[in-house]
Structure 1
Amino acid sequence: MDDMLIAGSSMREINNLKTRLSAAFEMKDLGPTKQILGMKISRDRSAGTLNLSQELYIERVNDAKPRTTPLVNHFKLSKEQSPKTAKERDHLALVPYASAVGSLMYAMVHGGPWKEHWEAVKWLLRYLRGTSSTSLCFGKGKVTLQGFVNANLGGDVDSSKSTSEYIYTIGGTTVSWMSRLQKCVSLSSTETEYVAIDEARKEMIWLTDYLEELGKKQKWLDSANDEEDEYCYQCSSDEELRHFDYY
């Protein structure tokens, strides 16, 4: 059984689509959506807003002490922080680390997690608990896509790779975000920023194409990165930039 959402500006067209789908498949109309994929959906039609919240889901799976920040600077995780002895591995077996972060994230720590990783997971669970009432609010108004890009140089203690980060909003509400290690080892902060901007640009292309399909063509994209990064680019030496190439 699969759940499906139908959205549109015309109830006549929505009902017509329901009729056509019901003729081809066995379906049950559940009416206006209130919850899907662990998210609570609430609408205020008079104010023209729609809210997406995971508060109920977070409270159901998490009873941790609340925190207000996602992580603090003293967490420096590494693959070297792994159990080295049989006693340490037996101790880790009693910790629900894998179930807490999910099998995919668990597989990323190839050497096996240890105390530092579990402390970081507990902190994140507390952060979710402390911010569980925060929701995404979509309202009426101009559909304008805005993007923010950032990167840090050599932040990964194992590989010295940098991290690319971007976030896109529509009308001030987040619709797309990413934070992950870059595939290459950058030689300067300028190169790190270029890699991050390129990754953000690919997402921008997809988002603008999608909005155009919805009849919301973007005339331009408002994007931003650190003013300090712009200054670094202007002051960069030829040695930092001359190995760049186009493909």
Structure 2
Amino acid sequence: MMDLGRANKILGMQIHRDRNNLKIWFYQKNYLKKILRRFNMHDCKSISTPLPVNFKLSSSMCPGNEVERKQMSRVPESSQSIHGESWWRALDSCKEDFEIYQRTSDVTLCYGGLEFTVRGYVDSDFVGDLDKMKSTTGYVFILAEAAVSWVLKLQTIVALSTTEVKYMAVTQACKEAIWIQWLLEELGHQQGKLFVFCDSQSALHIARNPAFYSRTKHIGVQYHFVREVVEDGSVDLQKIHTNENLADVLTKPINADKFIWSRSSCGLSKT
């Protein structure tokens, strides 16, 4: 092995340090500019959010007749995986994605300060996937004033209610919380009780009350893992208002003010 000195770049991310103030920044300005140039979007305007509020896509938007298929045949070959005109319009409005890149190319992820306690935030949508009728779990964990772990993924089963969706999302977040706790302990940082915040009072009630049987008997056993970690004190589940839930940004399109607040609360700020 060779010691190449202090790292200034890793996996496309540039690194800047301020050891006196105990801060470190990660950013991808050069990479984002490269992507914008690749798709000829380097002169595009900038926008504040990726998608309009309540925006959803489904396979029903795929071409339904020969005329629509011919229209889609004119879409550049590298974008043929976008299934239909509505999807292409979404991607076109999603030039918005590139326009977000343009606006946020100088945004950095900053870790720092003396606060070294993990906080988790979890959220979910309900039947966000209109094709498979499945919902989405999103969670983010904050350490040293910035995000260290985040997930956005489709749940594996179809839930019957918003409470069930939230409960399953909380379970997945608690699994991640325990893993982070183990990792930090391996690195010599004892965490004690971890806090996970959720905006569903009913999901928290199920997690805290094993006797709440009639509402939970159809939920898979693996999702009741959360009850064990709450009972033994490893995780402290707390109610949080939706407006203060950082994970909202992962599960649904939100307005510009909430988007910017969520981004800042996850440690992302302009240089």
TM-score normalised over the length of structure 1: 0.74
Distance 1:233 1:169, change over 3 A: closer
Q: What per-residue deviation string (whole Å, max 9, x for no partner) do you get for residues 76-99 of structure 1?
A: 21122223434123212x26437x
For 2:59 and 2:52, locate their aligned partners in 1 and report how far apart those are by CA, in whole Å. Answer: 19
Give the match for residue 77 of structure 1: 57
Unaligned runs of 5+ in 2: 37-41, 207-211, 223-271
Divergent runs of 4+, >4 A:
231-235
Residue 177 (structure 2) aligned to one of 204, 212, 233? 204
For 1:234 and 1:36, the matched residues in 2 are separated by 43
Report if the CA contact (8 A) 1:187-1:240 is conserved: no
Question: Which residue, 48, 53, 68 being the options, matches 2:48?
Answer: 68
Percent identity among equivalent residues?
A: 32
Cα distance, 1:127 vs structure 2: 1.3
CA distance in 1, matches of 2:138, 2:197: 12
Larger radius of gyration: 1
CA spacing shift, 1:207–1:190, aligned 2, 3 Å = same
How far did 1:195 drift?
0.8
Give the match for residue 103 of structure 2. Answer: 130
Aligned mate of 1:230, from 156, 180, 201: 201
- Report if the CA contact (8 A) 2:115-2:145 is conserved: no
Aligned residues: 207
Deviation at 1:74, TM superposition (A): 5.1
Write out aligned runs for 1:163-202 (5 A): 163-202=136-175
Asked whether the equivalents of residues 41 and 50 of structure 1 are also in contact (C-alpha less than 8 Å), the reply is yes
> Is the 1:144–1:171 contact (alpha carbons within 8 Å) kept by the matching residues of 2?
yes
Stretches of structure 1 lacking an aligned partner (at least 5 in a row): 1-20, 23-28, 99-105
Task: Tell me which of the two structures has the higher relative contact order, counting C-alpha pairs closer than 8 angstroms and 6 or more residues apart.
Answer: 2
Root-mean-square deviation over aligned CA pairs: 2.5
1:158: Cα distance to partner? Answer: 1.4
Match of 2:131 among 154, 158, 162: 158
Deviations 1:164-212 (A, max 9, x none): 1100010220011111211111101110011101111222222111111
